[in-house]
Amino acid sequence: MTSSETPRAEADQVTGTARVKRGMAEMLKGGVIMDVVTPDQAKIAEDAGAVAVMALERVPADIRVQGGVARMSDPDMIEGIIGAVSIPVMAKARIGHFVEAQVLQSLGVDYIDESEVLTPADEDNHIDKWPYTVPFVCGATNLGEALRRIAEGAAMIRSKGEAGTGNVVEATRHMRQIRADIRRLTVLDEAELFAAAKELRAPYELVKEVAQAGKLPVVLFTAGGIATPADAAMMMQLGAEGVFVGSGIFKSGEPAKRAEAIVKATTFHDDPDVIAKVSRNLGEAIVGINVSELPETQRLATRGW
């Protein structure tokens, strides 16, 4: 099942196709993917109705506090989480670190997040994601960035937000930006699309595809600072097709309760009565950081390009 195998005859089974990779993300829609650092947390997430878990060594809030180089997690720890739950398990590789990605594929993770939350390993190139059988999700702050990642083979896009802050303001900015960029493309004429592609620094073919469809060719989730059921619902109303919650759950007072409430609010994102009901008595939320007070060097969303 390695990517180096040659294409097979029609009757044969073919793995690792764009349809299979992108299709996997379609199955996660309307769901919540939760950061977990132990098998026990993974079980809590699965019990709460998570559609997948993201296995990592430290949640972004701790990476912020502790500093240093943040890398792919210990394979033992990832395997422990794979063994603990029956839902899909994702894991993070550093931007551009194609060997971490090879290792994660060999461990059998279901999705790789090439993530700005970890310290980038290459300041010029992201991973060439096409040769892998495992699909990739990548962060983006605007449409151009999203399309560059898709051109490199990303099968799913998420907003970057500002991870580990418990502050949704940057995720809001990125979701609005991506959606506004898409809307703008849909009213351009054929000739203007060439200029738009240049402006977006994205392949013309992808720009044209988005202009025609009015949406990305892959699933769009939100991530970065989601801390409450209302945060998740707002992102869904802004056009996200699902939600990643990082530090927001296990850095809160009652993780199991909050996790379940965010799952419910994501499904009923357009029903304020349900959101009101699930938002009661969730205990302490993650304390949070005002992003405007964060120095530029501590902002994760500026990693990647």
Partner 1 sequence: MATAQPVIGVLALQGDVREHLLTLAECDVLARPVRRPEELAEVDGIVIPGGESTTMSRLLEVFELLDPLRQRLAEGLPAYGSCAGMIMLASKVLDGRPDQHPLGAVDMTVRRNAFGRQVDSFEADLDFTGVGQLHAVFIRAPWVESAGAGVEVLATVPESASAGDAAGRIVAVRQGSVLATAFHPELTGDGRVHRLFTEMVRRA
* 8 part of the interface to partner 1, by CB under 8 A: yes
The distance between the two most distant Cα atoms of the chain, rounded to a whole number of Å, is 58
**Cα distances (angstroms) measured from residue 23 to each of 31, 38, 285:** 14, 28, 34
Q: Which is nearer to partner 1, 198 or 214 (CB)?
A: 214
Q: Quick one: 13 or 290, whose CB is closer to partner 1?
A: 13
Instruction: Using CB under 8 A, pick the residue from 4, 6, 86, 290 that binds partner 1.
Output: 86
* Shortest reach from residue 195's CB to partner 1, in Å: 31
Stretch that binds partner 1, among 68-76, 127-135, 172-180, 220-228 (CB under 8 A): 127-135
Given candidates 34, 42, 44, 51, which one binds partner 1 under the rule CB under 8 A?
51
Tokens 């999203």 sit at which residue?
146
Query: To the nearest whole angstrom, how small is the minimum distance from the Cβ of residue 135 to partner 1?
Result: 7
Binding flag, residue 105, partner 1 (CB under 8 A) = yes
User: Which residue out of 21, 29, 92, 277 is catalytically annotated?
Assistant: 92
The answer to whether residues 81 and 42 touch, using CB atoms and an 8 Å cutoff, is yes
DSSP string, 84-149: H-SS-EEEEEETT-HHHHHHHHHHT-SEEEEETTSPPS-SS-----TT-SS-EEEEESSHHHHHHH
In DSSP notation, 226-238 reads --SHHHHHHHHHT
Please name the amino acid found at residue 135. Answer: P
Supply the minimum distance, in Å, between the C-beta of residue 197 and partner 1.
26
Active site residue 160: no
Instruction: Identify any residues that bridge with 55 across adjacent strands, giving them in sequence order.
Output: 36, 91
Q: Does 134 bind partner 1 (CB under 8 A)?
A: yes
Contact 96, 120 (CB under 8 A): yes
169, 224, 228, 271, 287 from 293: Cα distances, Å: 13, 16, 21, 33, 15
Q: Determine if 30 is a binding residue for partner 1 (CB under 8 A).
A: yes
Q: Which of 120, 135, 224, 255 binds partner 1 (CB under 8 A)?
A: 135
- Which residue numbers are catalytic? 92
- Residues contributing to the site for partner 1 (CB under 8 A): 1, 8-17, 19-20, 23-24, 26-31, 46, 49-52, 86-88, 105, 108-111, 133-135, 260, 263-264, 267-268
